[in-house]
């Protein structure tokens, strides 16, 4: 199939683009390189440096779009909400309009656990209330809402995948490795590993008084290779006039303290940690139920161990 991957020079988009190329698809990556890296685009994919509002030229003849391009820093979204509404919602609406004009009827969208906000129970089901606590989550939820409307009104075939905490690295069949390389890194595992690489002196632990077994936040970590595989299944599951929403996580939570101790074991470094204030809007626990995608699409995590996730991320880092 002829596929367009927006944000395919980013961490997750690069892995999905690589898996799509490996599966024999004809892939075009559209990315403005605002947070991505041109060398994350897999060999075998065409690269177009442009923003999502300029997708009209590349869409004709495309069978489906994988839409990763977004602004995704929670703190920045609180400080600059307009930027998030304009990019994430406005940009996606422009993309959807260009898709309609070009007759492209399928989309797989990167949604997020942040659409749920502070959950009432665990694990989180897709039917649970969506009450985002920041503009990032709200803008992603607004796109989910728009996709439902576009499916009903225009027959769009859409799947939203609500990722929990994506981590780890992917090594493709040709030996190339795809890893997390955010310039502004807010994710725990790369920040902890940066200490092990002596790029930072210590890692901050934001809050130790949460109602969790050890007082630190609990999150559901999913290996980027497992997550990417779900996108290929979602492509096949896209059905005209239907918008499906699936959570993507492992269904098991690990606390910040537990992740730190696994990182210490894997790297053999001491990794000093400094306790800091809670970050506003950080839920105590975020764990997915991925039963729906397992049941409907037959997806199963193959690398669910936190040790394997950390070990793959560590092995992919330059030293």
Task: Pick the binder of ligand NAD from 62, 72, 255, 289 (CB under 6 A).
Answer: 72
Task: Pick the binder of ligand NAD from 19, 28, 35, 267 (CB under 6 A).
Answer: 35
- Among residues 23, 11, 58, which one has the least CA distance to residue 179? 11
32 near ligand NAD, rule: CB under 6 A:
yes
12 near ligand NAD, rule: CB under 6 A:
yes
Span near ligand NAD by CB under 6 A; candidates 1-9, 98-106, 209-217, 297-305: 1-9
36 near ligand NAD, rule: CB under 6 A:
yes
DSSP 54: G
33 near ligand NAD, rule: CB under 6 A:
yes
- Token duo for residue 261: 């101790």
Provide the minimum distance between the beta carbon of 270 and ligand NAD in the complex, in angstroms, as a whole number. 26
Provide the minimum distance between the beta carbon of 159 and ligand NAD in the complex, in angstroms, as a whole number. 14
* Residue pair 234/159 in contact by the 8 Å Cβ criterion: yes
Pairwise CA distance, residues 21 & 38, whole Å: 16
Identify residues 92-131 at the interface with ligand NAD (CB under 6 A).
110, 112
Tell me, residue by residue from 176 to 215, as one string, x for binding to ligand NAD by CB under 6 A and - for no binding.
------x---------------------------------
| Cα dihedral 146/144/47/62 (nearest 10) | -60
Report strand pairing: 165-167 vs 254-255.
Answer: unpaired
For residues 252 and 269, which CB has a smaller minimum distance to ligand NAD in the complex?
252
Provide the minimum distance between the beta carbon of 180 and ligand NAD in the complex, in angstroms, as a whole number. 7
* Residue pair 166/11 in contact by the 8 Å Cβ criterion: yes
Catalytic residue, candidates 11, 84, 116, 136: 136
Report strand pairing: 254-255 vs 218-219.
Answer: antiparallel
The DSSP-derived string for 103-156 is T--EEEEEEEGGGTBS-SSSSBPTTS--B-SSHHHHHHHHHHHHHHHHHHHH--
Told to judge if 116 belongs to the known catalytic residues of this protein, a careful annotator would answer: no
144 near ligand NAD, rule: CB under 6 A:
no
91 near ligand NAD, rule: CB under 6 A:
yes
Ramachandran bin of 296, using left for φ above 0, alpha for ψ from -120 to 50, beta for the remaining angles: alpha
Q: Determine the size of the site formed for ligand NAD (CB under 6 A).
A: 27
DSSP 53: G
Which positions are annotated as active-site residues?
136
Q: Which residues bind ligand NAD (CB under 6 A)?
A: 6-7, 9-13, 31-36, 51-52, 68-70, 72, 87, 91, 110, 112, 163, 165-166, 182
């Amino acid at each position: 199939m002829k596929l367009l991957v927006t944000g395919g020079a980013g961490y997750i988009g690069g892995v999905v683009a690589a898996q799509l190329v490996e599966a024999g698809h004809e892939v075009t990556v559209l990315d403005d390189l605002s947070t991505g890296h041109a060398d994350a685009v897999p060999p075998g994919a065409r690269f177009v440096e442009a923003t999502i509002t300029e997708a009209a030229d590349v869409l004709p003849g495309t069978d489906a779009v994988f839409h990763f391009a977004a602004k995704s820093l929670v703190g920045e979204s609180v400080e600059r909400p307009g930027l998030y509404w304009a990019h994430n919602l406005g940009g996606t609406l422009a993309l959807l309009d260009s898709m309609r004009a070009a007759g492209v009827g399928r989309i797989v969208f990167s949604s997020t656990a942040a659409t749920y906000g502070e959950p009432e129970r665990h694990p989180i089901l897709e039917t649970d209330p969506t009450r985002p606590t920041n503009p990032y989550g709200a803008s992603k939820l607004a796109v989910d809402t728009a996709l439902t409307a576009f499916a009903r009104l225009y027959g769009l075939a859409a799947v939203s995948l609500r990722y929990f905490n994506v981590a780890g690295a992917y090594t493709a069949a040709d030996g190339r490795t795809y890893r997390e390389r955010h310039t502004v890194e807010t994710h725990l595992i790369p920040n902890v590993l940066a200490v092990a690489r002596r790029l930072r002196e210590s890692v901050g632990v934001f809050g130790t008084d949460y109602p969790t077994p050890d007082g630190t936040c609990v999150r559901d970590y999913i290996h980027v290779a497992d997550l990417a595989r779900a996108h290929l299944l979602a492509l096949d599951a896209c059905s005209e006039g239907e918008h499906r929403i699936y959570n993507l996580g492992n269904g098991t939570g690990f606390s910040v303290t537990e992740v730190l101790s696994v990182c210490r074991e894997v790297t053999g470094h001491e990794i000093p940690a400094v306790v800091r204030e809670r970050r506003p809007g950080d839920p105590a626990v975020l764990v997915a139920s991925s039963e729906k995608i397992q049941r409907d699409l037959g997806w199963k995590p193959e690398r669910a161990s936190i040790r394997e996730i950390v070990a793959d991320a560590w092995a992919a880092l330059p030293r």
